[in-house]
Amino acid sequence: VIAASVEDICALYETWGAEHYDEELSQLAHALQTAALAEQAGSADALVVAALLHDVGHLLEVQATRRSEPASGVDRRHETTGARYLSGLFGAEVTGPITLHVAAKRYLCAIDAAYHDTLSEGSRRSLERQGGPMAPDEVAAFEQEPGFEDAVALRRWDDLGKVDGLAVASLDCHRARLRRVSSA
């Protein structure tokens, strides 16, 4: 599936955003908190958009499940599904960090011993499924990826954007930015 418009993307979050992300947190709250952290860091619009939409693949999975559609493709990796969905509207400065945000967790676990302990329960559980910490050759290869720094920054906001009940800007506050950054 490829998104046809910014409105489609917003509708996806409006329809399925109440689904749980982790423990008590909803998908929409997690997306908005991650975007708010990117914004507070003074990030470019494209990186704020990447932060907002980094888990869009999870929403697509929820939608497919609820509509009892077959899972989109053999590969159920949400970072790839999400980046593909956005690729018709956004360039690599948005889709790149999204594609790499799971690898960035494996990267951080490899280069920063303290990082693993800061992960949430759910994130620690999924790490093993995702391949565990990167091996040294994977670390070196990851650092060659264009925009890997953005992916690492996004990853850190992702990990912090899990505060139950935190008040942040609404989805509507991001619409103008989404239109600005999108090519449609």
Give the residue, chosen from 25, 51, 55, 106, that forms a contact with Fe ion under the rule CB under 5 A: 55
- Residue with smaller CB distance to Fe ion, 5 or 22: 22
Q: How far is the CB of 55 from Fe ion (least distance, A)?
A: 4
Q: Which is nearer to Fe ion, 39 or 158 (CB)?
A: 158
Which residue's CB is nearer to Fe ion, number 125 or number 179?
125
Do 11 and 57 form a contact (C-beta atoms < 8 A)? no
CB of 105 to Fe ion, least distance (A): 10
Shortest distance in whole angstroms from residue 162 CB to Fe ion: 8
Q: Name the phi and psi angles at 30, rounded to 5.
A: -65, -45
C-alpha 1 chain-centroid distance = 17
Q: How far apart are CA 108 and CA 119, in angstroms?
A: 11
- Interaction between residue 158 and Fe ion (CB under 5 A): yes
Q: Is 61 in the site for Fe ion (CB under 5 A)?
A: no
Q: Which span sits near Fe ion by CB under 5 A: 48-56, 78-86, 112-120, 147-155?
A: 48-56
DSSP-derived secondary structure for 18-77 = TSEEETTEEHHHHHHHHHHHHHHTT--HHHHHHHHHTTHHHHHHHHHHHTTPPPSSS---
Q: How far apart are CA 53 and CA 8, in angstroms?
A: 13
Selected range binding Fe ion among 2-10, 54-62, 63-71, 126-134, rule: CB under 5 A? 54-62
Minimum distance of Fe ion from residue 112's CB (angstroms):
18
Q: Which of residues 81-110 bind Fe ion (CB under 5 A)?
A: none
Run of H or E residues at 20: strand 20-22
Q: By CB under 5 A, name the binding residues for Fe ion.
A: 55, 158
